[in-house]
Chain A
């Protein structure tokens, strides 16, 4: 899959990728493996920052959607074409193209101000894009926003629950607003409380809840209507690690129950944990998209990481690693050097021999798949959001 391409996401067990030249491929087998093969076969060139620019200047294939829909009669849950939105002088969306197929969790990943929230708010019909087209489950969100609202649930960046009501009262109120009858609203609230593990606290006023409980209740509120598409805008921003994991569990259960989820996040591990498909957004445009493993492949097949005992040894180790892969990166704070390599096992052996010969004090050496941090760095030339690790090119 090419960075900057229009992407159609998983169609059940046969994901289809449409690259920037309009070629479409059905992948068979495990999505991750298939994607890796696909990328290896298609991208003889090394994907990287320069590559993105090429892709972006390529004319967009107008037939991409056609090809997609020929293959699959499934209506995309979200289909955005050339969305633009400007707030004063800030260009929040700059021609964003995104097609998300139903049945998968899609994570929009990007730094602050990348346009994630603007996009989600457009899908939620809270904002009207300046130009472009936007369909939600086949319905034109610009022309028929009221019909789109019948199919979505939104949980924003804040816990939009009423502190002076109990957890149950909050859920029943939203259930009623979704159009449920009182009895149905009660039943839905009971079921949702169970799902978000707040049954025991359902009768307490929300003002006595912890931050994590409020977030879970907020998520629950968007669920009582059992919407087709759940929009989660940075659902775990500002939560402690324990609460994040609990919220992730709740989201995973939902997905298992068949709700389509579009979520935004600045946390790479969150996207990795939850999403079947990740769309990386920067400056209001999609710069890359694919499954987590596809995206990781963009940053090299494998990564060799060396942890040294003494920071003084970092330049030497970096020099050694530059012989086995390209452009090793150094993080002084954690005394680590890592490098992307093509043939992991063989390169690891080479690196170990060379390091042994050089006599550097190595604490730990490992071979692993690249993290999304590294992917983001490769694609944008800067670390992702606030979680990015400080890094830079190896000192030569």
Chain B
């Protein structure tokens, strides 16, 4: 169908109303994404608070718990910062879930679902915008990491690859958060459900070596998706010294984390789309 609406006369004197062709997929997705980004940018309190929160979190681990954690020969700051940056999107994602739930609650999604646009475009727009926002917080997190003493031990290209992986992971997890937001229905419920993410964050290799955990917890930490993601990034930016501490090669973790990312994206993308267009 042609992407054009024929306007006869003024748009306000429709002889018998118009048939609206509706926007196509990408224009729709971009319009929805723009709105999410504007909402974020125009709420400075939100940005400020998120930055302060993650700074406090980093400082606590770096200077308070850090002294008590043995990272196996690696300076703890070099162990910590990759884990901190990777799990940063999980914290940011909770806000995304609450935002999606709010859109459901306040009827915005009903309005969008009643428009002549591909329904998948609404979710794609939301996912893209949230990923863009998370990328911003990723950059802030990385800068904070350098500020507290983190240094790269691998090539710059590896660092860029690590950042790329982080963006991909956050895009994958975004679908988990969209699903949570759609299922929860209210922002508060979404926030509550997202708290489960703290389990994923802490029962992983992000803040402490898995080998320091009790035997029964270790398999859980090793088999869940966050651990390979953290290990992949840590191996890329930490150089040989960090890689030596990992049970497998960096390439292994990069591959495994990519598989996880794609699997999460597909499963939760389908669940979210089904939930969104359910009627």
Contacts and interface: CB of A to CB of B under 8 A. Distances in A.
A52 to B, nearest CB: 31
Contact of B107 (A157, A174, A191, A260): A157
B110 A227 contact: no
Interface in B10-45: 10-23, 27-28, 31, 34-35, 38-39, 42-43
B113 interface: yes
Given A177-B23, A179-B3, A227-B20, A126 B113 contact: yes
B14 A228 contact: yes
Given A160-B111, A173-B31, A180 B14 contact: no
A351 B39 CA distance: 65
B279 A177 contact: no
A127 to B, nearest CB: 5
Nearest to A187: B11
B4 interface: yes
A271 interface: no
A213 interface: no
10 tightest Cβ-Cβ pairs between the two chains A and B: A228-B17, A158-B107, A160-B107, A154-B114, A164-B39, A179-B21, A226-B14, A160-B111, A150-B116, A149-B116
Interface of B: 3-5, 7, 10-23, 27-28, 31, 34-35, 38-39, 42-43, 105-108, 110-117, 279
B10 A179 contact: no
A231 B17 CA distance: 13
A164 B38 contact: yes
Contacts of B106: 158-160
Interface in A221-241: 221-222, 224-229, 231
Is chain A's interface secondary structure helix, strand, loop, or mixed overall?
loop
Interface in A282-320: none
A125 interface: yes
A151 B43 contact: no
A149 B114 contact: yes
Given A184-B5, A191-B10, 4 more contacts: A154-B110, A224-B11, A226-B14, A257-B12
A155 B5 CA distance: 21
Contacts of B31: 173, 176-177
21 contacts: A126-B113, A126-B279, A150-B19, A151-B18, A152-B114, A153-B114, A154-B114, A156-B107, A162-B108, A177-B117, A178-B22, A179-B20, A181-B4, A195-B12, A224-B11, A226-B18, A227-B18, A228-B18, A258-B15, A258-B16, A258-B17
Contacts of B3: 179
Contact of B111 (A128, A154, A176, A180): A154
Given A150-B20, A227-B20, A177 B115 contact: yes
A275 to B, nearest CB: 18
Contacts, number: 141
Nearest to B122: A177
A184 to B, nearest CB: 6
B17 A226 contact: yes
Contact of B279 (A128, A146, A152, A155): A128
Contact of B12 (A154, A184, A226): A226
Give the bracket for the number of chain A residues in contact with chain B: 35 or more
Interface centre among B16, B21, B111, B117 (most CB of A within 10 A): B111
Nearest to B103: A160
- Residue of B10, B17, B23, B31 ringed by the most chain A CB atoms within 10 A: B17
Most buried by A among B14, B15, B115, B279: B115
A150 B21 contact: yes
A154 B43 CA distance: 28
Contact of A174 (B13, B15, B113, B115): B115
Contacts of A362: none
Contacts of A173: 31, 34-35
A126 B109 CA distance: 10
Contact of B42 (A151, A164, A227, A257): A164
Interface in A248-304: 257-260
A174 to B, nearest CB: 7
A127 B113 CA distance: 11
A260 B17 contact: yes
Contact of B23 (A121, A152, A178, A222): A178
A309 to B, nearest CB: 48
Contacts of B28: 177
Contacts of A226: 7, 11-12, 14, 17-18
A179 B110 contact: no
Contact of A178 (B5, B12, B35, B105): B5
Contacts of A222: 111
